[in-house]
Structure 1
Amino acid sequence: MRQLDLIRYGKFHEQVLDFGPAGRDRDVTVVFGENEAGKSTAFSAWLDLLFGLPMQTAHAFRFDRKDMMVGATIEAGGEALTLRRTGKRQESLTDENGRAVAEGRLTALLHGLDRDSYAKRFSLNDAVLREGGEEIARAEGDLGRLLHAGTSGLSGISDVMAAVEAEVDGFHKKSGRATTLAKARTALRDLEEAAQAARLEPRRFADLRKAQAEAARDLTAAKAACDAARRAVILREAAERRRSIAAEIAQAQARLAQAPAGPDLPEDAVGRVVAADERRIAAEQRRAEASAQIARLERDLATLESDAAGLRVGAALAALEEARFDDGELLLPRVQTAAADIGRRRADATRLTAQAAALAERIAGRGVPAEEVALSSAHRGDLRAAAQAVRD
Structure 2
Amino acid sequence: MIIKQLDVYGYGKWRQITFPTFGKTQLIYGPNEAGKSTMMAFIEAILFGFPTNKSSERRLEPKDYDGFGGRITVATDTNEIVMIERKKGKATGDVTLYFADGSRGDEADLVKLLQGMTKQMFKAIYSFDIHGLQNVQALKESDFNRYLLAAGTVGSDVLLRVDTQLQKKT
User: Normalized against structure 2, the TM-score is what?
Assistant: 0.69
In structure 2, the partner of 1:72 is 72
Partner of 2:117: 113
- Establish whether residue 53 from structure 1 lines up as the match of residue 54 from structure 2: no
Amino acid of the structure 2 residue aligned with 1:5? D
Change (3 A) 1:80 1:138: closer
CA shift for structure 1 position 75: 1.2
Aligned to 2:82: 81
- Per-residue CA deviations over 1:55-114 (Å, capped at 9, x if unaligned) read 1334125357x8511211111222211221113117700257xx9731232222322111
Q: Paired residue for 1:122, among 126, 135, 144?
A: 126
Determine which of 31, 34, 39 is the counterpart of 2:31: 34
Q: Equivalences for 1:213-292 in 2 at 5 Å?
A: none
Aligned to 1:14: 16
Q: How does 1:93-104 map to 2 (within 5 A)?
A: 93-95=95-97, 101-104=105-108
Give the conservation status (yes or no) of the 8 Å contact 1:8–1:63: no
Equivalent residues of 2:11, 2:60 under 8 A apart: yes
Amino acid across the alignment from 2:8: L
Q: Residues 238-274 of structure 1, C-alpha deviation per residue, up to 9 Å, x if partnerless?
A: xxxxxxxxxxxxxxxxxxxxxxxxxxxxxxxxxxxxx
How many pairs were matched up? 144
AA of the residue aligned to 2:105: V
Structure with the higher fraction of residues in strand conformation? 2
Equivalent AA in structure 1 for residue 147 of structure 2:
L
Q: Deviations over 1:40-65 (max 9, x none)?
A: 1111101111101011334125357x
Q: Secondary structure at the match of 1:139?
A: helix
Q: 1:139·1:145 contact (CA, 8 Å) conserved in 2?
A: no
CA contact (8 A) 1:10 1:63 kept: no
Hey, what does 1:2 align to over in structure 2? 4
Higher RCO structure, 1 or 2 (CA under 8 Å, sep 6+): 2
| Structure-2 separation of matches of 1:135 and 1:141 | 9
SS in 1 for 2:50: coil
Identity of aligned residues (%): 21
Q: What one-letter code is carried by the residue in structure 2 that aligns with 1:125? A: D
> 1:308-354, CA deviations, whole angstroms, 9 ceiling, x for partnerless residues?
xxxxxxxxxxxxxxxxxxxxxxxxxxxxxxxxxxxxxxxxxxxxxxx
Q: Is the 8 A contact 2:10 2:61 kept in 1?
A: no
After superposition, what is the alpha-carbon deviation per residue over 1:27-48, rounded to whole angstroms, capped at 9, x for unaligned?
3233222211111111110111
Letter in 2 for 1:40: S
TM-score (norm 1): 0.32
The correspondence of residues 138-153 of structure 1 with structure 2, limited to 5 A, is: 139=143, 142-143=146-147
Compared CA separation, residues 93 and 142, structure 1 to 2 (3 A): farther
1:61–1:141: structure 2 CA closer, same or farther, 3 Å change rule?
farther
Residue type matched to 1:3 in 2? Q
Aligned to 1:43, the other structure's residue is in SS state: helix
Runs of 4+ in 1 over 4 A off after TM superposition: 144-147, 149-153
Deviation at residue 2 of structure 1 after TM alignment: 1.2
Name which one, 1 or 2, has greater alpha-carbon Rg: 1
**CA distance in 1: counterparts of 2:51 and 2:42, whole angstroms:** 11
Letter in 1 for 2:16: E
Separation (CA, whole Å) in 2 of partners of 1:141 and 1:58? 34
- Are the equivalent residues in 2 in contact too, given 1:4–1:72 (CA < 8 A)? yes
Q: Which residue of 2 aligns with 1:203?
A: none
1:30 partner amino acid? L
Specify every segment of 5 or more residues in structure 1 that has no aligned partner in the other structure, as ranges.
21-25, 154-392
- In structure 2, the gaps of 5 or more residues are 151-159
